[in-house]
Structure 1
Amino acid sequence: MAIGLSTYSFFWRASERVPHPLDLPQMLQQTAELGADVFQICDFKAIEAFGVSELLDLKCQADDLGLELELGTRGLDTEHLRKYLGFAEILGVRLIRSMFNSNSLKPTSDQALALLQTVIPQFVEQDVKLALETYEQVPTRRVLQVIERIDSPWLGICLDPGNCVAALENPTDVIDMTAERVLNLHVKDFAFSRRDGWVGFTFAGCPMGEGLLDYAYMRSKVRPDTRHINQIIEHWLPWQLDAASTCALEDQWTRHNLNYLTTRQTEE
């Protein structure tokens, strides 16, 4: 088990809304400097344009920094997942996170099953695990049913209970349903706040320990330390007044959350 950061931990600092966006080598460097052990390149579409030499450079940098790499994408399209298996082979990646839906394909359960049955043998052959994320577009139970029908140790859940609130799924219920099938954890805290004028709510991120995520319960159910499941820190940080204050707060949250998770790994 290791604690790591995701490209989502650098969401604003790597975006076009800031004057000097971070690139992947800079994100890897900062991840290592902060003491994390894993970096998940998640939903970072630019990597699809990388050539072999660029990918090898990234792997060499990660190796030099002592970082384990993971990949994240969206969708179950067979050729797309095969493409990411190709990236994984070059980068030495042993876990790819994906989702049921992509912009071009929203499969039924039977279609998802057929797509996964086609590609999972290649994941097994390459010794790469595929973790499907819990999120609001697809009911958790439906994702889980497909995974259980295939019943392979190379296919499981990327658990992010905060995503499912938008589908009125209780985070604790999502944890309970998926715990034994989890292969990867996306860790972020979240909370509701009243909108101006008390008209509705905003559901957004917050520093770990200040929101609705019962991290201790999730950890006790999933047992990432004994099951060797990496915990990847993400943020739902709303844009602040300007780029400088947003980037500063994003960095502050990252440091706080890393410290929070590291401290709690020694707690029973």
Structure 2
Amino acid sequence: MTIGLSTYAYFWQWSDHVPRPLSLIEMLADTARQGVELFQICDYPPLESMSDAELDEVRGEARRLGVRLELGTRGLRPAHLRRYLELAGRLDATLVRSMMRSADSEPTLDEAEGFLREVVPEYAAAGVTIALETYEQVPTPTLVELVERIADPHLGICLDPANVVAALELPEAVVDLTAPHVVNVHVKDFAFTRSPGWVGFQLTGAPLGTGQLDRAHEVRAVRADERDVNEVIEHWLPWQGDAETTCAVEREWTAHNLDYLRSERT
């Protein structure tokens, strides 16, 4: 198992909410500076419009820094997944996280199965795995059924227990249901807090160990070390009022979460 960082760990730092957003190369450099050897470029729109020369620069810098890459996108249409297979080949990535739905595609279970039966053999031939993420728009049993229908080791699940809470699924139950099929984990803690005025609740991120993620249960069920499943740090950090404060807290959460995951291995 390798601990990694995601573009979601730099969500605010590369956003247009800050005066000078970080570039992808700068995120890679910061990842390496923190002693992390894996970076997941996840839901990062500029990636799809990069030229071959720009992609080669990213690959070259990742190699120089000793950082392996994974990719993340949304949707299962074959043309789109083939594009990400091309990107994976260009960037030496061996995993592409995706979601069953995208902004312009909401396939049925049977349609999703057809899409994946068309492209999974191509991913397998290239040595690249597709990881379908757990999230509120698709019931987790449906996602598991889809993976079990295909029954290919190059198709699995990206486990994120925080995402399913919005669908009133219990995170611990989702961990147990998906564990045999997990090939990637998005690690973030989460917590409910009362909304201002005490009307309703907010579900936001939290530093690991301070929220409602049963991390010990996740570790026992997934067995990431034993099964060589990479765990990638993300954040759900609310805006903190200004760019400087928000980015500072984002960096603090990353440092804390890295220490937390590393401490599990000692």
Q: Does TM, scored on the shorter chain, surpass 0.5?
A: yes
Q: Give the letter aligned to residue 173 of structure 1.
A: A
Tell me the equivalent position of 1:139: 139
Q: Which residue of 1 aligns with 2:104?
A: 104
Q: CA-to-partner distance for each residue in 1:53-97, whole Å, 9 max, x for gaps?
A: 111111111111111100000000100000000010111000000
Mapped to 1, the partners of 2:63 and 2:46 lie a distance apart of 21
Q: Which residue of 1 aligns with 2:231?
A: 231
Which ranges of structure 1 fall in alignment gaps of 5 or more residues? Answer: none
CA distance in 2, matches of 1:177, 1:157: 11
Q: Which runs of 4+ in 1 moved over 3 A?
A: none
Counterpart of 2:111, as a letter, is: Q
Within-5 A mapping of 1:120-139: 120-139=120-139
Whole-Å separation in 2 of the counterparts to 1:226 and 1:68:
20
Q: Provide the C-alpha distance between the structure 1 equivalents of 2:84 and 2:171, rounded to a whole number of angstroms.
A: 29
Letter in 2 for 1:44: Y
Partner in structure 1 of residue 220 of structure 2: 220
Post-superposition offset of 1:196:
1.4
CA distance in structure 1 between the partners assigned to 2:197 and 2:67 by the alignment? 46
TM-score of the aligned structures, taking structure 2 as reference length: 0.99
Structure 1 counterpart of 2:26: 26
**Backbone CA RMSD of aligned residues:** 0.6
Aligned-pair distance for 1:136?
A: 0.1
3-state SS, counterpart of residue 162 of structure 2 = helix
TM-score w.r.t. length of structure 1 = 0.98
**Residue segments in structure 2 that go unaligned for 5+ positions in a row:** none
Give the distance between the partners of 2:107 and 2:238, measured in 1 at CA. 31
Alignment partner, residue 178 of structure 1: 178
Structure 2 CA distance, aligned partners of 1:14 and 1:117? 35
CA displacement 1:92-115 (0-9 Å, x = unmatched)? 000000000001100000000000
Write out per-residue CA displacement over residues 119-166 of structure 1, whole angstroms, 9 at most, x where no aligned residue.
Answer: 101001101000000000000000110110110100000000000000
Q: Indicate whether 1:205 and 2:193 are aligned.
A: no
* Corresponding residue pairs, total: 266
Cα displacement string for residues 9-29 of structure 1 (whole angstroms, at most 9, x for unaligned residues): 000000000000001000000
Q: Which whole-Å CA distance do the structure 2 matches of 1:185 and 1:52 have between them?
A: 29
Aligned equivalent of 1:58: 58
Q: Secondary structure at the match of 1:161?
A: coil
Residue identity (%)? 53
Alignment partner of 1:12 is 2:12:
yes
C-alpha distance in 2 between matches for 1:249 and 1:167: 28
